[in-house]
Amino acid sequence: MTTKENIESRRSIKHYDPEHVMPEADLQELIRLTKLAPSSFNMQNYRLVVVRDKELRDALKAVAWDQAQVTDASVIFLMCADLTAHEADPSLYWGHAPEPVQEMIGPMLKPFYEGKDQLIRDEAMRSTGLAGMTLMLAARDLGYESCPMVGYDADAVAKLINLPDDHALSFMIAVGKQTQPAWPRGDRLPDSTVVIHDKF
């Protein structure tokens, strides 16, 4: 499947085979591919909470409007972000780079984010969004379908997964084997609404 075909045919699937168990090799490959997503300063500040535990899945379903895909999908990913990633030693992200690059980028990292809570949160949402889309496209390439989800009580989910105070919860992704066709795709808004050339 080409990238174009993947994008054109990917849908948010609601119905999954509850008996399917994702092989560990598939899960690890899905994680590996997801981690290739871009992130600002290469911080990789996304955090993937992989949920397969049945009791936890049941509890998540109860705070997610009882949506079946939470328990029927093979795996649930909770896309989170570390809001303190910019405070780490820059060599963690740039130790592989030539010394002149490290000397240029390293000192920029902390000052760029320091004291800018909105920017830090925006960055968290950008990184988890990029990683999430990468995950969903990778899942299709591996023979799975997916569904991004925000229909849940975020505070309850955060409590269930013991989300640290310095992390943000972004969205949930169900991944598994489809059992029913997707709903009809909604019409795309016209370019005249979506596309702005140069300036508003």
**In the predicted structure, residue 1 carries a pLDDT above the cut 90:** no
Per-residue pLDDT band for 110 (boundaries 50, 70, 90) equals very high
Q: Provide the pLDDT for residue 69.
A: 97
| Domain-located, residue 190 | no
Flag whether 188 is in a domain.
Answer: no
pLDDT category, 76, cuts 50, 70, 90?
very high
* pLDDT digit string, tens, across residues 121-136: 999 999 999 999 999 9
Domain count within the chain:
1
Lay out the sheet containing 75-82: strands in order across: 46-51, 75-82, 167-176, 145-149
Overall pTM > 0.75: yes
Domain with 151 in it: what CATH number? Answer: 3.40.109.10
d(CA 172, CA 17): 18
Domain that holds residue 121: 3-179
> What does the alpha-carbon distance between residue 43 and residue 37 come to, in Å, rounded to a whole number?
11
Average pLDDT for residues 61-89, to the nearest whole number?
97
> In 3D, which of 36, 39, 58 has the Cα closest to residue 138?
36
Compute how many other C-beta atoms are within 10 angstroms of the C-beta atom of residue 198: 4
Comparing 75 with 1, the larger pLDDT belongs to 75
Mean pLDDT of the chain: 96
What distance lies between CA 146 and its chain's CA centroid?
11
